[in-house]
Amino acid sequence: MIKGLSNVNWKNDFDDTTLERGKDIYYRENIMFYRVNNNEISGTVIGKDRISEYNVIIAFTDSSRTKVESYECKCCGVNSDKLCEHEAAVLFTYEKANKQINESYPVTPYFIEEIPDEIDVGRYFDIIDQTIKKYGDFIGEIKPFFADMMGIVKYIIEPMSEKHPMEAFEISRYLYVEVDDAQMCETHGRFELFSERLDALWDKLEQMVQGEDREYIADERPYIDNF
Ligand SMILES: [Zn+2]
């Protein structure tokens, strides 16, 4: 863990090369998810090999989150006294998201990846859980929340549906149930838009598969709608 230098602007804590590398990671959207909690932000950065994951924690002096107290990432060993590009990437993400929250734009940098040959459904459940958890126990930020949920449908589930219809069905069903279950107030039609999009996807999936798979989707759908 590295204690923050006295700079109010975090960028001054980093050297130019590290800052550029961090910005590059941020632009390539190699941050799987990040979370903001009081005076702390944390994020998981995907390494260049697309396999390694680095957990970054940035602590601020208080909940206004203007001045960094400490930086933490284990990429260069616990005792390294250098700040790294992963920390910079998380801060760039935070900076952008913060601006977007104020302007009510979508927030999450989606983890866009090539569609693997085999889908680890549980991993996508985790991504959904983490993204929803980011908003706390009660979803107050309806607009960015639904932008995030639609983003999961658009950037993760729909692209995998051609090759993996049944996995896409399982993951989207999970997403629907979690969103339906989340505590929030008036959604101003956003929940309806979200479920219409999933309905259209399920129509398509049902047509794509045959036999037992088709029966399974057909049997499960009324159950999801009444969940
Ligand atoms: Zn690092």
Q: At 141, is the secondary structure helix, strand, or coil?
A: coil
pLDDT, tens digit (0-9, with 9 covering 90-100), for 13-65:
999 999 999 998 887 767 766 777 778 888 888 877 767 788 899 999 988 88
Cα 104 from Cα 25, distance rounded (Å): 24
**Residue 83 Cα to ligand 1 middle (Å):** 7
CA of 45 from ligand 1 middle (Å) equals 8
Task: Map out the domains of the chain as residue ranges.
Answer: 2-97, 121-220
In degrees, rounded to 5, the angle at the alpha carbon of residue 129 between the alpha carbons of residues 106 and 46 is 70
Q: What would the pLDDT profile of 178-224 be if each residue is shown by its tens digit?
A: 999 999 988 888 899 899 999 999 999 999 999 999 999 999 988 77
Q: How many A from CA of 53 to the centre of ligand 1? A: 10
CA of 27 to the centre of ligand 1 (A): 16
Contact 161, 168 (CB under 8 A): yes
pLDDT band at 105 (very low <50, low <70, confident <90, very high): very low
Q: Rounded to an integer, what distance in angstroms lies between the CA atom of residue 190 and that of residue 109?
A: 20
Q: Is the pTM of this model over 0.75?
A: no
Distance CA 224, CA 32 (A): 28
**Directed axis angle between helix 190-208 and helix 165-181, to 10°?**
160
Strand pairing partners for 33?
44
The per-residue pLDDT for range 155-188, each reduced to its tens digit, is 789 889 999 999 999 999 999 999 999 999 888 8
